[in-house]
Amino acid sequence: MLGTLVNVAAVLAGGGAGLLLKGRLSSRVTENLLRVMGLCVCVIGLSSAAGGDTLLLVVSLASGAVIGETIDIDGGLNRFGLRIQEKMRGGESSRIAEGFVTASLLFCVGAMSIVGSIDSGLRGDHSVIFTKSVIDGVTAMVFASALGAGVLLSALSILFYQGAIVLCASGLQGVLSDSLITQISAVGGVMILALGLNMALEAKVKAANLLPAFLTAAGYYFLVMA
């Protein structure tokens, strides 16, 4: 749970700073910060993906992408977020709720949150979550300066959502082999690389649609490599 707690603390610190700096952050500064964070995410993704079997990566990610695009996971998540935000609008009293919902969706819905929590629970590797914490802290600062104190409440969403994934992954640690965990982490590394490219270069890769690759990677491993 260390990574999740650090992530929560980063959002609270960044959001608090955003409230203090409200109206003082230039768009150029925030945009450049987020692009630099994207490059760091790319490095994390490459390092994780390097340990995977090449054929497994190709097969699992290709089949996972087909499944994800067919059921349109990315589109579904976006529509879900838009529906919630629309329901929260309607006056000044909804401003806190809007900040909470918007920030919660941004911080919790994504491959980096899932992959990082799995790595944290299975291997005790918090590097992805630590990187995500820095990005979330910067983003929380920007959001809080625009949406207010509701952004800080999203720390609760991170605590329960990522914490649950970490605990579930920890429970599977004795069932999954080290080799399978390495392959699953490598698949997650490619997803993280996609997120980094989106942040740094606006590549527009639908990383959420690659999530089924976790299941196809496990299937390939047991059928071919085990």
φ/ψ (deg, to 5) at 217:
-65, -45
At how many degrees (to 10) do helices 95-108 and 73-88 cross? 170
Separate counts of helices (H) and strands (E) for the chain: 10, 0
Residue 134 has pLDDT above 80, yes or no: yes
Task: Answer whether 0.85 is exceeded by the pTM.
Answer: no
For the residues 14-29, what does the mean pLDDT come to? 80
Nearest to 170 by CA among 103, 219, 205, 124: 124
Alpha-carbon gap, residue 85 to 176, rounded angstroms: 39
Q: How many angstroms separate the CA atoms of 219 and 171, rounded? A: 20
**φ, ψ for residue 78, nearest 5 deg:** -65, -45
pLDDT score of 219 more than 80: yes
User: Do 2 and 120 touch, CB atoms closer than 8 A?
Assistant: yes
Q: Which helix (H) or strand (E) holds 22?
A: none
DSSP assignment letter at 26: -
Section 116-133 average pLDDT: 85
pLDDT, residue 90, reads: 54
> Distance between CA 145 and CA 150 in Å, rounded?
11
| Every domain of the chain and the residues it spans | 2-225
Nearest to 41 by CA among 187, 204, 195: 195
**pLDDT per position as a tens digit, 90-122:** 554 456 666 776 677 678 766 678 778 888 888
% of the chain residues with pLDDT over 90: 19
Summarised one tens digit per residue, pLDDT across range 42-96 is 887 888 888 889 999 999 999 999 999 999 887 876 676 667 666 655 554 456 6
Q: Which of 103, 82, 88, 95 is nearest to 161 (CA)?
A: 103
Predicted confidence band of residue 223 (pLDDT cuts 50, 70, 90): very high
Check pLDDT > 50 for residue 200: yes
Alpha-carbon dihedral sign for residues 206, 75, 156, 94: positive
Model pLDDT for residues 140-191, shown as the tens digit of each residue: 888 787 777 878 888 988 998 889 988 888 877 677 777 887 888 888 888 8
Alpha carbon 88 to its chain centroid, in Å, reads 23
Q: How far is CA 79 from CA 75, 87, 92, 173, in A?
A: 6, 12, 24, 34
Residue 193 has pLDDT above 90, yes or no: no
Within 10 angstroms of residue 36's Cβ, the number of other Cβ atoms is 15
What is the model's pLDDT at position 93? Answer: 47
Q: Note the pLDDT of residue 133.
A: 92
